[in-house]
Amino acid sequence: MILKQGNRRRLSPRTIETYQNCLERFFRKYPIEPRKVTKKDVKDFLDGLIAKDKAGGTIHVYLNALKFFFEECLGKKMRLDIKYCKRPKTLPLVLSKAEIKTMIENIKNHKHKIMIALMYSAGLRVSELLNLKVQDFNFKEGYGFVRQGKGMKDRLFVIAEKLRGILLQICAGRKQDDFVFVSNRGKRYDVRSIQEIIKKASKMAGINKKVHPHTLRHSFATHLIENGYSVSDVQALLGHKSPETTMMYLHTASRNMLNIESPFDNL
């Protein structure tokens, strides 16, 4: 049932799988007919997770899964408006511009270097980088598109001037629906490969921080703010649904989004 409704609502396969796992755990604890489940049952279940010291994000996922099942799939008027802290209020790890530059310079493999530079320069998630196709670039206008990113949304990203020519060479002579980055065997890279590239590069650069792919996205957003762009500008480029999510990077004066230059061009 959740699979059918999830597909209809265009949830990602990963979200559907996660929701199914959450429901299986819930009904192991409450093995009753779904329509007989009460709001108190749900609250008691979530309170049990809190008692086990589960992370706020984990609890929020369970809440969303249960809300989706009972309200969307069963049409049960349960009004699950229970509030739980989604995540701890901690600032993300951010690298300085100098650290980003040094890290990228320490990547010896040319293709790997371009991949990591593009991730930072456009604020891309790993999955978004790996899913890029030749048709997603508009080199003439200097922008590209993330297709069906997080939340199944498309969004625009800026192509750094320093990378435009190199990316154009990579895409030259290839089919529009070809993936941009493939291994020597013609296969797409996996997330683990990107994680290892970044881990090795940061170590060689002497960065004593736990750097991961998303660190580049955090750094991209922070450096845009430092360069004078507003929260609304950065929010659009990151694809955040709410400006509150972007507020962690601080807000400053507004500029026109189409005039934004990638911070990679200022390294």
- Of 121-130, 132-141, 181-190, 192-201, which gets the smallest average pLDDT? 181-190
pLDDT of residue 58: 78
Query: Does position 165 have pLDDT exceeding 50, yes or no?
Result: yes
- Which among 19, 62, 125, 223 is annotated as catalytic? 125
Strand-by-strand arrangement of the 143-146 sheet: 137-138, 143-146, 155-158
pLDDT of residue 250: 45
- Which among 217, 218, 223, 229 is annotated as catalytic? 217
- Which among 39, 214, 251, 255 is annotated as catalytic? 214
Contacts of 198 (CB under 8 A, 6+ apart): 103, 116, 211, 212, 213, 215, 216
Q: Which residues pair with 156 in a beta bridge?
A: 145
Average pLDDT, integer, range 94-107: 93
Reduced to 3 states (helix: H, G, I; strand: E, B; else coil), residue 167 is: helix
pLDDT tens string 211-239: 999 899 888 988 887 777 777 777 778 87
**Is 249 noted as a catalytic residue in this protein?**
yes
pLDDT of residue 82: 66
Average pLDDT, integer, range 1-24: 70
Q: How far, in whole angstroms, is CA 45 from its chain's centroid?
A: 29
- Which among 97, 150, 164, 199 is annotated as catalytic? 150
pLDDT of residue 255: 38
Q: Which residues pair with 143 in a beta bridge?
A: 138, 158
Query: Does position 251 have pLDDT exceeding 50, yes or no?
Result: no
Contacts of 124 (CB under 8 A, 6+ apart): 118, 146, 157, 217
pLDDT tens string 124-151: 999 899 999 999 999 999 999 988 656 5
Reduced to 3 states (helix: H, G, I; strand: E, B; else coil), residue 42 is: helix
Q: Classify the C-alpha dihedral 106-108-112-118 as positive or negative.
A: positive
Q: Which residues pair with 158 in a beta bridge?
A: 143
Amino acid at 113: K
Query: Is residue 256 very low, low, confident or very high in pLDDT (cuts 50, 70, 90)?
Result: very low
Query: Is residue 103 very low, low, confident or very high in pLDDT (cuts 50, 70, 90)?
Result: very high
**Is 212 noted as a catalytic residue in this protein?**
no
Closest CA to 229 of 180, 192, 204, 266: 266
Query: Does position 258 have pLDDT exceeding 50, yes or no?
Result: no
Q: Which residues pair with 146 in a beta bridge?
A: 155
Percent of the chain topping pLDDT 90:
35
Distance (Å, rounded) from C-alpha 109 to C-alpha 112? 5
pLDDT of residue 252: 27
pLDDT of residue 216: 93
Contacts of 60 (CB under 8 A, 6+ apart): 84, 85, 86, 87
**Is 150 noted as a catalytic residue in this protein?**
yes
**Is 214 noted as a catalytic residue in this protein?**
yes
pLDDT tens string 24-72: 999 999 898 888 888 888 888 888 888 777 777 778 888 888 888 888 8
- For the chain, the average pLDDT equals 82
Token pair of 24, please?
Answer: 């299986």
Reduced to 3 states (helix: H, G, I; strand: E, B; else coil), residue 180 is: coil
pLDDT tens string 78-96: 776 666 655 555 667 888 8
Domains belonging to the chain, first-starting first, are: 2-73 (1.10.150.130), 97-266 (1.10.443.10)
CB-CB contact of 149 with 103 (8 Å): no
pLDDT of residue 202: 95
pLDDT of residue 1: 57
